[in-house]
Structure 1
């Protein structure tokens, strides 16, 4: 069952999301026993190990060795905690910011974004349970938008945001599927290839070649020789390549996205 980010009071969540901006270090007195960072880290540890549902305020408090009510001094509710956890994971991709080193070619920059996003969902599969239709408006989310937009600087301005949103939607959809696969493997102890193999009798006992001629032709040509996991990898690479080819051709004067196309993002 999905949880929805963005349901929190902006006056409470925004200062928490941006707590590191202009943060002042205390110069006197004892350091606090807990910090928001420690609470978020504990929530991430619980969710990574046991799933998002397990990351209740009580379980996070137990992980920290404090009373549950103590957490509310730092995070108002579980809804805020989940948003903080999501943005922390988004920021953890370490996408290059302005002035930071990045691949020279715009396509390689997008591939870096895609690889790190897929790895993020694989490492934190509970993210699949959080809808980001209304995302946490923190540094992690804004870094994603800034990075993808910065790779598309040669596009006309009206198209730039549309292209960036298209890339983010495509990559995130594939990454969420990878996260779901990771959750299924963990819950069932079985790979997708094994799951399909155990249902092989479908093709012998129930499959009607006359009702499925396109599938039959593809089968006879070897189009289904690869397992579902490998097919998914190929499909993502194919789709991303076509998407970037199309975007590259929208660059002024572009003839081929592999040669001219979008210029590389300017390096400092």
Structure 2
């Protein structure tokens, strides 16, 4: 598990907001740019996982020496922050709707797609997030949407946090199913089929009667990926219903 926000604060903020001074016209132009470094790192992490993304491998992908990267970014810690914020910027949260619920749903579904493109997102803890433009664009979008509900400013902040926590966690679960199947080469159906003996010889329907009854009534008649998607839709709907109920005048 990588943790964001662990690098030098001043340097990380400078990189996130691209606030370095412009280069002079002297000398040769750099072989790579910061944006190219971030893109290459994301591509490696997308394919092989965040834990295998190293400065050496990024340099090799860009056909430059590793020391060249260090002239742009201090190390992997800061690079992960840049990758995270770049992924958040990809959400491109511009809505044509003035309905707060539709705006939140737009964010939710784009977050799901982002996790599918970048399954490594689930491997980065953002409890101390990189304070970049991607993060602030997401937060501002959600706060602006929820501010139209009539909730108090305190509840708007809490609701924003609840939405982000649920959406990012549930989106990661959905991405995990697809990514796990790709890495293992084994489908969820094949994985469960290999464990059919559990249901035949170990599972006790009397001891776990609620599970057995729900099973008999078709409550589990879907694949693991389908179940995760349904859980996401149900959870999001319930969360937004709850926010809507809180916003109603007494």
1-side partners of 2:227 and 2:175: how far apart?
16
Pick aligned residue for 1:104 from 98, 102, 106:
98
Structure 2 residue aligned with 1:266: none
**Superposed displacement of residue 102, structure 1:** 2.8
State the distance in 2 between where 1:193 and 1:107 align.
Answer: 35
Pick closer, same or farther for the CA change 1:147–1:78 going to 2, 3 Å: same
Gap runs ≥5 in structure 2? none
Report the RMSD for the aligned CA atoms in angstroms: 1.8
**Matching residue of 1:139:** 133
Match of 2:193 in 1: 197
Residues 117 and 175, structure 1, Cα contact 8 Å, conserved in 2: yes
Tell whether the 8 Å contact from 1:87 to 1:139 is kept in structure 2 after alignment: yes
Q: Deviations over 1:38-90 (max 9, x none)?
A: 11111112111222122211111111111111110000111111111111111
In 2, Cα distance between equivalents of 1:11 and 1:132? 18
1:1-268 superposed matches below 5 A: 2-19=1-18, 28-29=25-26, 31-96=29-94, 101-153=95-147, 154=149, 155-253=151-249
Post-superposition shift, 1:27? 7.5
| Rounded Cα–Cα distance in structure 2 between residues aligned with 1:160 and 1:189 | 43
Q: What stretches of structure 1 of length at least 5 have no aligned partner? A: 255-268
1:249 aligns to what SS in structure 2? helix
Q: How many residues align?
A: 247
Q: For the residues of structure 2 that align with 1:232 and 1:41, how far apart are their CA atoms? A: 29
- Where has structure 1 moved over 3 Å in runs of 4 or more? 23-31
CA–CA distance in 2 between the matches of 1:46 and 1:220? 44
**Alpha-carbon separation, structure 1, partners of 2:243 and 2:106:** 17
Question: SS of the counterpart of 2:146?
Answer: coil
1:83–1:136: 8 Å Cα contact kept in structure 2? yes
Partner deviation per Cα, 1:71-127 (whole Å, 9 max, x = no partner): 10000111111111111111111112xxxx432321111111111101111111111
Tell me if the contact between 1:126 and 1:179 (Cα under 8 Å) persists in the aligned partners: no
8 Å CA contact 1:51, 1:126 repeated in 2: yes
- Higher alpha-carbon deviation: 50-59 or 245-254: 245-254
CA distance in 2, matches of 1:65, 1:24: 26
